[in-house]
């Protein structure tokens, strides 16, 4: 039975109130020099490269199960841990880690809203002392539900209850900026640049729920549809996945590999240009 310590989107004051809880594992996912400069007290340093796999030209693949198990156990995570992740870029790396936990059925996790920017700018306590993880034990096995691959997307294109949501920039979406053999987007995909979901006036927190829902509904992204989130490598779109999950969307998937796979295959259809 899941018994979370915090909501999926956790505010700094909520995290501060439970620092030191035995079930809590706080992960700081930035460059080492930023961690050395300051971090949430007790936070464990984690490099993003440890929980993504690259097989060029493909990027952002899920790690192999035994590799992920080793990472989780090294940083002290067990199935009963409540994991809070943050970074210094608005939540991309943190969300990618949380989506990966979703893929193995881990239930208790949170995104620190605004991440390190909100924590530091708003005067919450920081530490410069490296934290040492406890011991973890985690047998890892992936679930299929949170994951979409190219063949699955191809099988669902055109279905009335299916939609792909592109978290990249308009230039990438249109094909003007090409980061694979082909530029453009998955046919019918709706564009929602992940940066547009952040509130720069509130230290890169997610925008208020009403604003997010209006942005999604304007694009036809409604809870009755199955939504597959993608970007170039399912980094930015992991943030989109966590946002949709926080809004209660019942059927959402992430596409690891994303455009680095789709745009480099020869058998996948591509659209270019901006679509109204």
Q: Is residue 99 within 8 Å of 52, Cβ to Cβ? A: no
The CATH code for residues 150-262 is 3.40.250.10
Give the C-alpha separation, 127 to 186, whole Å.
44
Q: Is 150-262 the same fold as 9-121?
A: yes
Give the C-alpha separation, 200 to 197, whole Å.
9
- DSSP string spanning 118-133? HHHHTT---B-SPP--
SS (H, E, C) 198-253: EEHHHCCEECCHHHHHHHHHHCCCCCCCEEEEECCCCCHHHHHHHHHHHCCCCCEE
Which of 4, 25, 149, 138 lies closest to 86, judged by CA? 25
Domains of the chain, residue spans: 9-121, 150-262
Q: Is 231 a catalytic residue?
A: yes
- DSSP string spanning 54-72? EETTEEEEPPPHHHHHHHH
Residues with Cβ within 8 Å of residue 215, at least 6 apart in sequence: 192, 196, 197, 207
If you classify domain 9-121 with CATH, what class do you get? alpha beta
Q: Is residue 183 within 8 Å of 175, Cβ to Cβ? A: yes
Q: From the candidates 231, 244, 252, 258, give the one annotated as an active-site residue.
A: 231
State pLDDT tens for residues 120-173: 999 999 999 999 998 889 999 999 999 999 999 999 999 999 999 999 999 999
Q: Is residue 8 within 8 Å of 118, Cβ to Cβ? A: no
* Residue 133 token pair: 């993880």
* Residue 238 token pair: 């992991």
Which of 120, 96, 98 lies closest to 109, judged by CA? 98
What pLDDT is attached to residue 276?
Answer: 55
Could you count the other beta carbons within 10 Å of the beta carbon of residue 124? 16
pTM attached to this predicted model: 0.97
State pLDDT tens for residues 150-162: 999 999 999 999 9
Residues lower than pLDDT 70 in the chain: 1-2, 276
Bridge partners, residue 228, by sequence: 164, 253
């Amino acid at each position: 039975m899941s018994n979370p310590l915090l909501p999926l989107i956790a505010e700094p004051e909520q995290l501060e109130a439970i620092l030191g809880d035995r079930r809590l594992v706080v992960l700081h996912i930035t460059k080492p020099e930023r961690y050395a400069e300051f971090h949430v007290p007790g936070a464990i340093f984690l490099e993003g490269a440890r929980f993504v796999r690259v097989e060029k030209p493909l990027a952002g693949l899920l790690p192999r199960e035994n590799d992920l198990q080793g990472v989780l156990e090294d940083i002290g995570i067990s199935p009963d841990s409540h994991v809070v992740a943050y970074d210094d870029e608005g939540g991309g790396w943190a969300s990618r880690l949380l989506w990966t936990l979703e893929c193995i059925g881990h239930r208790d996790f949170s995104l620190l809203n605004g991440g390190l920017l909100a924590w530091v700018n708003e005067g919450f306590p920081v530490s410069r002392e490296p934290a040492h993880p406890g011991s973890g034990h985690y047998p890892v096995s992936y679930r299929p539900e949170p994951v979409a691959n190219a063949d699955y997307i191809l099988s669902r294109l055109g279905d009335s209850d299916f939609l792909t949501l592109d978290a990249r920039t308009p230039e990438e979406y249109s094909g003007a900026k090409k980061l694979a053999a082909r530029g453009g987007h998955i046919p019918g995909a709706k564009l929602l640049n992940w940066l547009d979901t952040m509130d720069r006036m509130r230290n890169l927190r997610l925008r208020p729920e009403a604003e997010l829902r209006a942005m999604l509904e304007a694009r036809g992204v409604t809870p009755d549809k199955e939504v597959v989130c993608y970007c170039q490598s399912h980094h930015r779109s992991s943030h989109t996945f966590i946002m949709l999950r926080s809004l209660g969307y019942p059927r959402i998937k992430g596409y690891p590999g994303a455009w680095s796979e789709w745009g480099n295959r020869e058998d996948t259809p591509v659209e270019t240009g901006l679509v109204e």
